[in-house]
Amino acid sequence: MTIRLYDTSARQIRDFTPLQQGCVSIYLCGATVQAAPHIGHIRSGLNFDIMRRWFEYRGYDVTFIRNVTDIDDKIITKSHDQGRPWWSLGYENERAFNDGYEALGCLPPTYEPRATGHVPEMIEMMRGLIERGHAYEADGSVYFDVRSFPGYLALSNQDIDDLRQPDEGVSGKRDPRDFAMWKATKPGEPDWETPWGRGRPGWHLECSAMAHKYLGSAFDIHGGGLDLIFPHHENEIAQAKAYGDDFASYWVHNAWVTMSGEKMSKSLGNSVLVSEMVKTWRPIVLRYYLGTPHYRSMIEYSEDALREAESAFARIEGFVQRVVEKAGDVEPAAEVPPAFAEAMDDDMGVPQALAIVHTTVRQGNSALAADDKEAAVARLAEVRAMLGVLGLDPLDPHWAGDESRGEDLHGVVDSLVRLVLDQRQSARARKDWATADAIRDQLVQAGLSIEDGPDGPRWTLGPR
């Protein structure tokens, strides 16, 4: 058994070899809490939740750190705009993020440190970098000297001479591309005391300091969205390695949720808040929608795509419910099918693994149609084991009552139509073609279009 991961720094899929046998350490760049989360924010947490679950299934002891950036330029600006304390705004949105993670079934991290709780660690790192000649103080701010670190920009594969960095409206930089680790105090902003004067943390320093504190000088996996590769992760690497840390062995980045081809973003006005989505869609369906594409593939948001995800999950859930009604509780199998494991081992290949889930569901439905209870129960045990890894087992206590949440008109109609389609599938399994055709004709007359595919029938509203 070898898990393989795409390493951004190597630009290829690599065999995963942990620094400590039997253990995996993961640092994920978490929320910057200037606003409530949209589904693009939560996707990152979901992707790494699935990764964490798979490592645990494979027998690893996982330490999972997901930080909270609770102080930065955007938080300060929005707190001024709203006339409220920065810490009040940040805490409110931090809770909204945690509500979103919990609603979509993400396991809590091992630790979830806040940036403002780790100023002493940041001061210590800056002191070490200044002593080593990699950082300098100017006008109360502390900057990292990017030309002092030969490996700078290796992750994003850029040339430093082509790099253009904003000067952040401050003076004293030796090179405009040098970045701020600590920002001198300004009127109306929060600040902390340091040997170089009062001020506040720079964004990049926070993660280097917190990763060092909770995972040590070297750890296995650093994760985050593609948009963090530069400048954030490049600057993290520069700080940590110049300080003397080996830092992360693997760099894993998830793709975005897009809308009309653009990255979902509050600033672009194209975001879809998690708190609004769970009012009209079941959280388990949202998890299926966001978690089942490959983590390195973009997800183009659309209502149609969500409905397709809803219908696909309904086929799985319907099978689970029918077997439970016939056989009672069925425990998950001790092991997932080998083909599922092979897919997950290959760079967390969730789409290929999910195909095994649907194949097993079809086999289970055939067993039900043939009244083979033993085979149906065996297939459900396998399905539950696979869904458990993906966090999608509808019998998991976390999802208790989920079926009553977010049921819009489409969800109600889909449940009713699915019952009729199941009757049609049973008729087809019995080779009772007359009954199957009659059911299809009745659905078409009701204004629905039925399409039979390899994953079972799919319905849409027909032309009017």
pLDDT, one tens digit per residue, over 302-344 is 999 999 999 999 999 999 999 999 999 999 999 999 999 999 9
Question: pLDDT tens for residues 397-429?
Answer: 999 877 554 444 456 567 778 778 888 888 888
Find the mean pLDDT for residues 89-114.
98
Per the DSSP assignment, residues forming a β-bridge with 248 are: 219
What CATH architecture is 4-263? 3-Layer(aba) Sandwich (3.40)
Whole-angstrom distance, CA of residue 310 vs CA of residue 460 = 12
pLDDT score at 17: 98
pLDDT band at 464 (very low <50, low <70, confident <90, very high): very low
Find the mean pLDDT for residues 98-118.
98
Whole-angstrom distance, CA of residue 357 vs CA of residue 316 = 8
In this structure, the chain runs to a length of 464
Question: pLDDT tens for residues 245-301?
Answer: 999 999 999 999 998 778 877 665 657 899 999 999 999 999 999 999 999 999 999
Task: With a cut of 90, say whether residue 449 has pLDDT above it.
Answer: no
Question: pLDDT tens for residues 12-26?
Answer: 999 999 999 999 999
The two most distant CA atoms of the chain are separated, in Å, by 85
Among residues 292, 302, 320, 308, the alpha carbon closest in space to that of 260 is found at 302
pLDDT band at 463 (very low <50, low <70, confident <90, very high): very low
- How many angstroms from the chain centroid is the CA of residue 142? 33
Residue spans of the domains in the chain: they are 4-263, 303-396, 408-464
- How many angstroms from the chain centroid is the CA of residue 42? 5
Structure tokens at 33: 């809490």
| Percent above pLDDT 90 for the chain | 80
pLDDT score at 83: 95
Question: pLDDT tens for residues 27-65?
Answer: 999 999 999 999 999 999 999 999 999 999 999 999 999
pLDDT score at 461: 54
Question: pLDDT tens for residues 172-194?
Answer: 899 999 999 999 999 999 999 99
Among residues 214, 252, 203, the alpha carbon closest in space to that of 70 is found at 203
CB–CB of 24/220 below 8 Å? yes
Q: Rg for the chain (alpha carbons), in Å?
A: 25
Whole-angstrom distance, CA of residue 211 vs CA of residue 67 = 9
Find the mean pLDDT for residues 219-238.
98
Q: Which of the 8 DSSP states describes residue 175?
A: S
- Considering the four listed CATH numbers 3.90.330.10, 1.20.120.1750, 1.20.120.640, 2.60.40.1930, the one that applies to the domain covering 303-396 is 1.20.120.640
- How many angstroms from the chain centroid is the CA of residue 429? 39
Task: With a cut of 90, say whether residue 447 has pLDDT above it.
Answer: no
